[in-house]
Amino acid sequence: MGLSVLLHGGVVAALVYGWWSFRQQSKPLPTLAIDATVVDGRALSAAQPKPAPAAPVAPPPAPPDSEAQRAAAEQAEAEKRAAEQHAIEEKRAAEAKLAEQQAEAERKAQEAAEHKAREAEEAKRRERERAAEAKRLAEEKLRADEARERAEEEADLRKSLADEEHLMAARSGGAMLSWTQQIQARIQRAWIRPPSARAGLDCTLYVTQVPGGEIVSVRLGACNGDQAVRESIEAAAYRASPLPPPPDPALFERNLAIHFNPSD
């Protein structure tokens, strides 16, 4: 714009200068007062030589080439407009590129967010599947444990019933009576009769034994003997230890009640 102003100013100055020069050349010359004597022209002409023809007056200098200046100014203006248009286009291109970069960044951010959301949903799905599988396995284990416990309880019950039936059969068959009679005979053989013992002695002896027949405690119940007799019976029970085993292991009893009635 500054260059255009300078060019226009130069053109105007050239035009003003040309116009002023032309006016100076066009002004009439001033009239001078001359004293002269009238002379016959023919005589004067004959006496004097003919004057040389006047030289042609040079035309005033032409003004500067305004067309070239206008062309230069127009070219400068066109270049200026082209530069401004180029700057505008570059700015628009930069803005478009920035908008494209922002859109691309937003698209990538959106894709990343969607990918992350899908991964989170997939992780939740896998966690639900693991939880469901763990629950299923736990339920299966619980059912298996319950079934095993029921089977064990049923087996224990069957075994208890079988043992009870076997014990009842053994006792009803006389094996228990035979075993207690063996214990009774063993204690009586170990008894040392005190002088105060009289005929018709009848006592009940409570014996506690452990597997193997070893006696761990003895208690005398009803007895018609004196203190010496009672003590002698208890000592005889300890001397009879260990007691004979039962003919059937199912007949073993930890606590036994022995009828002590020695014959005379």
248: domain CATH number is: 3.30.1150.10
What are the φ/ψ torsions at residue 203 (nearest 5 degrees)? -135, 155
Any domain includes 19? no
Q: Looking at the structure, do residues 70 and 168 belong to the same domain, yes or no?
A: yes
Q: What pTM did the predictor assign?
A: 0.40
Q: Looking at the structure, do residues 254 and 197 belong to the same domain, yes or no?
A: yes
Of 15, 103, 75, 252, the residue nearest 111 (C-alpha): 103
Q: Looking at the structure, do residues 91 and 168 belong to the same domain, yes or no?
A: yes
Q: Looking at the structure, do residues 209 and 248 belong to the same domain, yes or no?
A: yes
Any domain includes 47? no
What are the φ/ψ torsions at residue 242 (nearest 5 degrees)? -80, 150
Any domain includes 16? no
Number of structural domains the chain divides into: 2
| pLDDT (0 to 100) of residue 216 | 94
Given 172, 192, 207, which residue is the final one in a domain? 172
Q: Looking at the structure, do residues 69 and 144 belong to the same domain, yes or no?
A: yes
Any domain includes 236? yes
Is the CB of residue 198 less than 8 Å from the CB of residue 182?
no
Any domain includes 210? yes
Running along the chain, 264 residues long, what does each successive block of 10 average in pLDDT?
Answer: 72 74 59 51 54 57 70 90 92 92 93 93 93 94 93 89 74 82 92 90 93 92 92 93 89 91 75
Q: Looking at the structure, do residues 166 and 193 belong to the same domain, yes or no?
A: no
Any domain includes 215? yes
Any domain includes 44? no
Given 151, 172, 193, which residue is the final one in a domain? 172
| pLDDT (0 to 100) of residue 50 | 55
Given 124, 147, 172, which residue is the final one in a domain? 172
**Alpha carbons 24 and 213: distance in angstroms, whole number:** 168
Q: Looking at the structure, do residues 161 and 129 belong to the same domain, yes or no?
A: yes
Residue 240, domain extent? 175-260
Q: Looking at the structure, do residues 200 and 164 belong to the same domain, yes or no?
A: no
Q: Looking at the structure, do residues 179 and 166 belong to the same domain, yes or no?
A: no
User: Which residues neighbour 218 within 8 Å (Cβ) at sequence distance 6 or greater?
Assistant: 205, 206, 207, 208, 234, 237, 238
Order of strands, edge to edge, in the sheet holding 255-260? 215-223, 203-209, 255-260
Q: Looking at the structure, do residues 203 and 129 belong to the same domain, yes or no?
A: no
First-to-last alpha carbon distance for the chain, in angstroms, is: 159
Q: Looking at the structure, do residues 164 and 153 belong to the same domain, yes or no?
A: yes
Q: Looking at the structure, do residues 127 and 217 belong to the same domain, yes or no?
A: no
Any domain includes 50? no
